Amino acid sequence: MASITGKRTAFYQNHIEADAKIIDFGGWDMPLNYGSQIEEHHAVRNDAGMFDVSHMTTVEVKGADAKLYLQFLLANDVDKLQPSGKALYSGMLNEKGGVIDDLIVYFINSEHYRVVVNASTREKDLAWMNKQINNFKVTVEENNEFAMLAVQGPNAIEKTNQVLSSIQQEAVKNIGVFFAADSESYFIARTGYTGEDGYEIMMPNSEASSFWNRLIKAGVKPCGLGARDTLRLEAGMNLYGNEMDESVSPLEANMAWTIDWKNESRDFIGKSALLSQKKSGVKNKLVGLILEGKGVIRSHMKVVIDGENVGETTSGTMSPTLKQSIGIARVPKTIGESVMLEIRGKLVPAKVVKPSFVRNGRSLI
């Protein structure tokens, strides 16, 4: 089922050949699944699966003031990024401390950083980043030359290495988590969004299709957006627009760890608002939920305690790994060990847990 209106990645023909169910996703024609979302989910948890993530936006930040600019733009501090290839997760905030987007920034050199932002927020992110240039000697340019593929799972690294060149294999041999290697026009990062080990690989658009086919031969299973969402939710990873947005502070989105306060002289957008929030006390937090009755947790369900609506679910699904319904909710910091969820007009009990359910194939609950 192909669209004739959306933007298409360099892997689009590969998706069609693999019988993908194509849907519109933020203006892109993207695969929802290739027949069975559950099988794709299990492939990543137990073996190796790959996702087309070329719809993500890659931005090159270059110039003499690249570091100073990003230190002002982001809540996390890029001064941490040494040596070349080191990656950092951060929120990009507005003046009120709300999250404009969450992103990953890679250190290339002192005058070049690579930033990867969400697909759905591309236009506002680029506009915001350009607005903040002011007197910084820096350029901010979208890079459309790459296709991007995430290969995830316990066997992902081994199977991907089989199809890399000998030079690329040597380049990635010793890279740690949240590091990247730049080799033969491929930018290979040990990052991901599934709770499993693996790579996120940028490659020239012209090589995307053949690289995909080599991974297929190596036994890597194509996976769509459906499995990507159930995997990230099991891992307790935030989704922009669900767990956080421009109205939500990182202090209420379990992102406090991404705010770097060490350099007190460093100013960054949203800092004064966050300091004010810390002083007055943050009222809400994100928690994990495990449904103890019948039904499936979805987003925007009411969280009820003693007949009072105290919060709302932000994400929910039936966990393929745990075979239980799980979710994430924003609730008061004083929440207890159990709540009720309003599902189709009925109150169903749910257990409150840490918002991380599965990592590296193992249950955390």
pLDDT above 90: residue 358 = yes
CA torsion through residues 282, 286, 291, 297, sign: positive
Q: 74 and 25, same structural domain? A: yes
CATH number for 117: 3.30.1360.120
DSSP 301: P
The Cα–Cα gap between 69 and 89 comes to: 16
The Cα–Cα gap between 119 and 217 comes to: 29
SS3 state at 316: strand
Q: 296 and 263, same structural domain? A: no
Angle 229-234-240 from CA coordinates, rounded to 5°: 45
**Average pLDDT in the chain:** 96
Q: 178 and 32, same structural domain? A: yes
pLDDT above 50: residue 3 = no
Mean pLDDT across 167-180: 96
The Cα–Cα gap between 137 and 45 comes to: 45
The Cα–Cα gap between 281 and 256 comes to: 13
Q: 176 and 74, same structural domain? A: yes
Task: Say if CB 52 and CB 9 are below 8 A apart.
Answer: yes
The Cα–Cα gap between 348 and 340 comes to: 5
Q: 247 and 318, same structural domain? A: no
**Tens-digit pLDDT profile for residues 76-94:** 999 999 899 999 999 999 9
Residue ending a domain, among 245, 280, 315, is 280
**Tens-digit pLDDT profile for residues 342-354:** 999 999 999 999 9
Alpha carbons within 13 angstroms on the beta-carbon side of residue 73 total 30
Model confidence at 6, in pLDDT bands (50, 70, 90)? Answer: confident
Q: 288 and 273, same structural domain? A: no
Q: 213 and 302, same structural domain? A: no
- Say what the pLDDT of residue 1 is: 47
- Say what the pLDDT of residue 309 is: 96
User: Whole domain around residue 287: which residue ranges?
Assistant: 283-363
Q: 190 and 101, same structural domain? A: yes
4-38 as b/e: b if 16+ CB within 10 A: eebbbbbbbebbeebebbbbebeebbbbbbbeebe
CA torsion through residues 72, 78, 80, 83, sign: negative
Q: 337 and 258, same structural domain? A: no
- Say what the pLDDT of residue 10 is: 98
**Tens-digit pLDDT profile for residues 17-45:** 999 999 999 899 999 999 999 999 999 99
Strand partners, 326: 290, 317
Number of domains making up the chain: 2
pLDDT above 60: residue 155 = yes
Mean pLDDT across 264-290: 97
Model confidence at 365, in pLDDT bands (50, 70, 90)? Answer: confident
- Say what the pLDDT of residue 353 is: 97
The Cα–Cα gap between 308 and 291 comes to: 19
Pairing of strands 28-33, 99-109: unpaired
The Cα–Cα gap between 185 and 163 comes to: 15
pLDDT above 90: residue 267 = yes
Question: Dihedrals φ, ψ of 165, to 5°?
Answer: -70, 165
Residue type at 331 in one-letter notation: V
Tokens of 76: 């996390």
Residue ending a domain, among 227, 259, 280, is 280
Can you state the angle between helices 225-234 and 37-46, rounded to 10 degrees?
A: 50
Model confidence at 223, in pLDDT bands (50, 70, 90)? Answer: very high
- Say what the pLDDT of residue 5 is: 72
Residue ending a domain, among 280, 312, 331, is 280
